[in-house]
Amino acid sequence: MGMTLAEKILAAHAGLDQVHPGQFVEVDVDIVLANDITAPIAIREFEKLGVTRVFDPDRVVLVADHFVPNKDILSAEQCVQMRQFARAQGLAHYFDVGRMGIEHVLLPEQGLVVPGDVVVGADSHTCTYGALGAFATGMGSTDIAVAMATGRIWMRVPETIRIVYHGTLRPWVGGKDLILYTIGQIGVNGANYKAIEFAGPTIDALSMDGRFTMANMAIEAGAKAGLFAVDETTRAYVEGRARRPYRVYPPDRDANYAQIIQIDVSDLEPQVAFPHLPSNIRPVSQAGEVPVDQVVIGSCTNGRLEDLRVAAEILRGRRVHPAVRCIIIPGSQQVYLDSLREGLIEVFLTAGAAVSTPTCGPCLGGHMGVLAAGERAVSTTNRNFRGRMGHPESQVYLAGPAVAAAAAVAGQIIHPDHL
């Protein structure tokens, strides 16, 4: 019996010819990641282990991205702990204000994650790197401390759900709409402790930015990882970025899947996740009249250059509604610079939007766009749980950059074609 993409990668990193779902394995990791919220916990646990050095200073990556630039004394102290640890350990990849980005935008962009890797991060959206054909998953800070010390982790091999997409995407429909629709179909528990393989003709035609968006939100269906097989689109992205050699692991044709789901996207509209679950999905034509107070375009889900281009296409020559605050957050310094060179930043500022330095900020209700009681936001982020972006009585509607930008102009959720 053949193996799935997840099984292939885990077997190789465990030094085994074959693994099967449910098997417990110890695997070598290629990258260990933490941020300014999770790293301080991992550092304290690392120090309790009695070791003095990380397993490899080239493979432990720390990114200050959640509460930066620091919003208060506590967040400043968190970053000081991480900064001091990075310097003491001689970490090659520590990213601070002015040289950073949102971690899951930054690492692929910098070529730190490559196909075939096993990546563990103290952040649930570490699964983003599955877009590159890597096995990437989030873990608790204690596990990350052990990984920093030993370069190894234990894991139960997950079953895999294969989701095959057919059809050509309509205008304004992208990776965010595909993954929102999928979560709406299978639910937030539909892939609990399973890997998802995204495949099919629609995926073959999808850009890397669209794939990152889909892999990023695999966790919102409960998945351990969300993976794409490496193809020419992947190779074109990786070539010139990769900082080390990599190996491609294609899934076997006779792999055993827990489930195979077929989805026809030919008639798929832009999707909106209503409060308070990513699975509470409606097509935008059925959204009704939902006035909004704030729009956020950015995050590790939709803060890449392609996303900002879509937003700029909507906002160009238009103005943000006077009752709306529109906040645009490039996912990295490079995305910011590319947007500036392309004239996108001028489009946003002329339209009346605020443009922020790269930060997770409002996604987790941290800063740069926290909501008050009763306020509604349309956001390109990944979660809309109660209180996620601020007050427990606020509401967050998830959408792609086209719908978000259209809402910023109209003051309510509408189809971009209706502007």
CB–CB of 368/356 below 8 Å? yes
Do 194 and 285 lie in one domain? The reply is: no
**Do 9 and 121 have their domain in common?**
yes
Range of the domain at 165: 5-262
Q: What per-residue confidence (pLDDT) applies to 255?
A: 96
What is the pTM (predicted TM-score) of this model?
0.95
Q: How many residues does the chain have?
A: 419
Same domain for 120 and 219, yes or no, is yes
408 close to 293: Cβ distance less than 8 angstroms: no
Same domain for 229 and 294: no
146, 280: one domain: no
Confidence at residue 343, expressed as pLDDT on a 0 to 100 scale: 98
Q: Which pLDDT score is estimated for 60?
A: 98
Domain's final residue, options 197, 227, 262: 262
- Distance between CA atoms of 182 and 161, rounded to whole angstroms? 12
Task: Please report the pLDDT score of residue 355 as a whole number.
Answer: 97
Q: For the chain, what is the domain count?
A: 2
Residues 29 and 118 in one domain: yes
Which of 238, 262, 286 terminates a domain? The answer is 262
Q: In what side-by-side order are the strands of the sheet with 194-199?
A: 225-228, 194-199, 159-166, 259-264
28 and 83 part of one domain: yes
**Could you tell me the two tokens for 32?**
């260990």
Q: Which residues pair with 25 in a beta bridge?
A: 155
Do 257 and 280 lie in one domain? The reply is no
pLDDT at position 195: 98
395 vs 375: CA distance, rounded Å:
6
Q: Are residues 324 and 376 in the same domain?
A: yes
Q: Which of 262, 291, 326 is the last residue in one of the domains?
A: 262
Residues of the chain with pLDDT under 50: none
Are 175 and 29 in a shared domain? Answer: yes
pLDDT for position 286: 95
CATH number for the domain spanning 409: value is: 3.30.499.10
- pLDDT number for residue 76: 94
Q: Are 390 and 375 in contact (CB under 8 A)?
A: yes
Domain identity same for 60 and 185: yes
pLDDT for the residue numbered 233: 97
Query: Is 242 in the same domain as 343?
Result: no
